[in-house]
Chains A and B, each alone.
Chain A
Amino acid sequence: MTGMSDATAPAALPKVPTGIQGFDEITEGGLPKGRVSLVAGAAGSGKTVLAMGFLVNGAEKFNEPGLFVSFEETSRDLETNFASQGFDLRRLQKKGLLALDHIHVERNEFEETGDYDLEGLFVRLGADIDAIKAKRVVLDTIEVLFSAFTNEVIVRSEIKRLFQWLADKGVTAIVTGESGEKTISRHGLEEYVADFVVVLTHVVNDETATRRLRIVKYRGSSHGTNEFSFLIDRRGISVLPISSLGLRHVASSKRLSTGIARLDEMLGGKGVYRGSSVLVSGTAGTGKSSIAAHFVDAACRRGEKALYFAFEESPAQIVRNMASIGLDLDQWQKKGLLRIHSERPQNTGLEMHLVRMNREIEEFSPSVTVVDPITNLTSIGTFSSVRSALTRMIDAMKSRQITALFASLTEGGADPEATDVGVSSLMDTWILLRNLEVGGERTRGLYVLKARGMAHSNQIREFVLSSSGVGLLDIYGGADGFLTGAARSAKEAEERADALRLARSIQETEHEVARKRKVMAAEIERLKAEYEAEIESLENAIVEQRMRQDALVAGTAAVRAARGGRNTDVKARTTEAAKRRPKPRSRP
C-alpha cells in the first residue's frame, strides 16, 4: 500500500496515462509503459473507441504521436466514425500526431506453399512508427491474422514475436481482440502474451444496456478488480471508477449559505460545509425543488457555478416555476453560471446515468450541484446498486469539494425517516420537509434531522413559499403538538391568557416558598436557644461538683492530722470512694 512512497522499494512499474476519464484511476496510472495491452470484447463492446481514445488523448493531452493500424475499417471509415464521437482525426494527422494505416487482409487470400513469416507486417509497422515517431500504437484487431493465414502455428509464434518486437520498439501498444467462448480472446493467445488485459462487455438488463469493463490482468501492478461501468457517446469514453476514491477527501471547514437565511441560522448560523452532501427529503409538493433553487441561486450570486440535474422537469419548466417564487434562474443560465441538465433516468441504465452525470460534473466543474430527485435513480436500480453508485458519486463530488444537494421524494404516508434511511447515512446534512395538516389547513414544516459537525437547531420551522421566495417562521410548539397558520394565531391568543394565569400562579407559589423559608429560620433560632440553655446548666453542674470534691478531700486531711497520722488507709479509702461515687448522686 505504501510502496509508492517507500524510497527503498523497487521503482514502480512505469505507466502511460490513457487520459480516459476514470480509466487511469482504476489502473492506478494507465497502461504499462513500453508493453502490449490487450483489450478484449465482443463486437460493438467499445474496443476500438477505447483504443482510439488512448491515441487521441496521447496526442492531445500528452503530445505523444500515435499510430492506429486497422485491419478492418478503412482510414476513411475511421475518420468518419470518430468524427461523430467528437474526435477530429484529420486534424491530428495533419499535425503529425496521429497516423492511420489500414492493412487489408482477406480470408484465404493467399496460396501457401512452404515456410514463411510475417516480417512484411513488421516492416510495415516499423515504417509507420518511424514516420511519426509514434509512442503509442494500436492494432485493431490483430486476430484477423488467424483467418488470413491457414498455418496457425506460424501465426501464433509471429504474434508472440510481434508483442516482443513492439516492446523492443519502446512503444506502448494496445491490441484488440474478439472475446472467445472459453478464453479471453478467441484464440487464447493474446491474453497470456500481453502484460495487461481488460475485458469489455455489453449487457442488456431490463431493456437497458450497460457497458462494463474489468481488468483481468496487470502484470507487476495492483489494479481494481471490480467490474466498472463505462459510457461511450459523442464525447468519447468515460469510466465510472469512483469507488477507488475511498474516503480520502479533505473536509473543508468553510461554510456556505443555503440561500435561505433562516435555514443557515438553523445550521449553526452559517449554513452547510463546503464539499458536504445535503439530503432534502419530503413528500410531493413540500418545496424540495424550491430549496434546491435557493441553494443554486445563492451559489450563482457568489459567482460560483452550479449544476442542476433535473429528472422530472425540463430546464424551462424549472426556470418558470422558480420565477414564481421570485428567483430569476434564467440570468444565471445566460451568464453561464448555471447549467440545468434534464433527463429521464429511465432512458438509460443507472450506471450509465451516473457516468454521464460524473462527466457533466467534470466538464462544467461546478461548485455546487443539485440532484432532483435521487428517488428517480432508485427506481431504476436495485437498492444496493443505487447505494453503491450514489456512494461513488458522493465521493467523487467530495473529492472535488463540490457541495451537493440531493432532493428525495418520499411517498405520502410513508415515514420519510424510514424510507430514506438507506441513503441518509451517506449524507452530512439531512433536512426534512413535511406537510402539516392542522385546523383544515395544510402547511409545510421544515426541520434539520442531522447536520454532521455543527450545532444545529432542533426546532421545527414553518416553511412558507411566497413570491419573494422561501421563508421560515417560528412554529408554535406546545403540549398539544405544533400548530401553524391560522390555528397558530388562535392558539397564540389562548396561550397568552394561559400565560397570565400561569404567571399569577407562579407568584403565589413564590410567596409560599418565602413564607416557608421564614418559618424554617425561626424554628432554627428556637432550637438553637434551647440547646444553648441546656448546655449552660450542664456546665454549671460540673463546676459545682468539682468544688464539693475538693471540700471533701480537705476535710479528710484534717481528721488524719488530728489522729496523729496512724491510720493512713483512711485517706486512700475515702479518695477511692469519692471516685467510685456516681455523679448523679453527688448532686447537692
Chain B
Amino acid sequence: MNGDASAAPPPKMWHLKLYVAGQTPRSIAALSNLKRISEEHLPERYTIEVIDLLENPQLAKGDQILAVPTLVKDVPPPLRKIIGDLSDTERVLVGLDLRPV
C-alpha cells in the first residue's frame, strides 16, 4: 500500500545485504543472480554487501538470519528478506517491492 506511494518519489539508493555461509555454489549463484537483477532494475541505485557468516557469526543475530543465502533489504524501508539462491527473478522483484504482486 505504502510501497506504491514510495516507489513514485525521486529514486533513492537501495542497500542490499546478502548473507551467505562460505563460498558454496549456492551462495555464488545467489550473488550473481542478485547482481544481474539489480543491474537490470536498479541501475546505479544499489549497493551490495556480502556478509559471510562463517567469518562473522555474530552478525547472524542482527538480522535474525537462519537460512542462507538470505537477501536483506532495509533501505529503503520496509525491511524485506528473501531467501534462496534468487533464481526466480519474478519472486525477487516482488520481494523487493519492485513489482506489484
Contacts and interface: CB of A to CB of B under 8 A. Distances in A.
Contact of B87 (A113, A122, A123): A113
Interface string A101-114: 10111000111111
B7 interface: no
Of B81, B83, B85, B94, most A-chain CB atoms within 10 Å: B83
B42 interface: no
Nearest to A109: B81
Interface residues of A, number: 25
Given A120-B19, A123-B57, A126-B57, A110 B64 contact: no
A559 interface: no
Contacts of A120: 19, 21, 53, 60, 65-68, 70
A105 B66 CA distance: 9
A127 B83 CA distance: 22
A120 B91 CA distance: 22
Contact of B92 (A103, A104, A113, A145): A113
Given A105-B66, A116-B67, A126-B57, A110 B81 contact: yes
A148 interface: yes
Contact of B21 (A112, A114, A115, A119): A119
Main secondary structure of the interface of A (DSSP, over half): mixed
A118 interface: yes
Contacts of B70: 110, 116, 120
A103 B66 contact: yes
B26 interface: yes
Contacts of B60: 120-121, 123-124, 127
A392 B70 CA distance: 55
A576 interface: no
Contacts of A126: 57
Given A105-B66, A124-B65, A114 B57 contact: no
Interface string B18-31: 01011000100110
A123 B95 CA distance: 25
B2 interface: no
A441 interface: no
B82 A110 contact: yes
Nearest to A126: B57
Nearest to A120: B65
A119 B92 contact: no
B83 A113 contact: yes
Given A118-B67, A119-B21, A111 B57 contact: no
A149 interface: yes
A126 B57 CA distance: 8
Given A120-B53, A120-B60, A123-B21, A114 B68 contact: no
Contacts of A104: 64
Contacts of B64: 103-105
A401 B22 CA distance: 61
Given A110-B82, A111-B92, A149 B53 contact: no
Of B58, B60, B80, B81, most A-chain CB atoms within 10 Å: B60
A498 interface: no
A117 interface: yes
Contacts of A112: 82-84, 91
Contacts of B67: 110, 116-121, 149
B84 to A, nearest CB: 4
Contact of A116 (B54, B57, B58, B69): B69
B83 A124 contact: no
Contacts of B65: 120, 124
Contacts of A105: 64, 66
B86 interface: yes
B54 A123 contact: yes
Interface in B18-64: 19, 21-22, 26, 29-30, 53-54, 57-58, 60-61, 64
B79 to A, nearest CB: 9
Given A116-B26, A120-B66, A110 B57 contact: no
Of A104, A112, A113, A118, most B-chain CB atoms within 10 Å: A113
Nearest to B21: A119
B57 A113 contact: no
A113 B86 contact: yes
A118 B66 contact: yes
B26 A115 contact: yes
Contacts of B95: 111, 113
Contact of A113 (B53, B58, B84): B84
Contacts of B84: 112-116
Nearest to B55: A123
Nearest to A154: B67
Contacts of A145: 66
27 contacts: A105-B64, A111-B81, A111-B95, A112-B82, A113-B83, A113-B86, A113-B95, A114-B30, A115-B84, A115-B85, A116-B26, A116-B67, A116-B68, A116-B69, A116-B84, A116-B85, A117-B26, A117-B68, A118-B67, A119-B21, A119-B22, A120-B53, A120-B60, A120-B65, A121-B66, A127-B58, A149-B67
Interface of A: 101, 103-105, 109-124, 126-127, 145, 148-149
Given A110-B82, A116-B85, A149-B67, 18 more contacts: A103-B66, A110-B70, A111-B94, A112-B83, A113-B83, A113-B87, A113-B91, A114-B84, A115-B85, A116-B26, A118-B66, A118-B67, A119-B21, A119-B68, A120-B53, A123-B54, A123-B60, A126-B57
**7 nearest A-B residue pairs (beta carbon):** A111-B95, A114-B84, A114-B87, A127-B57, A114-B85, A119-B21, A120-B65
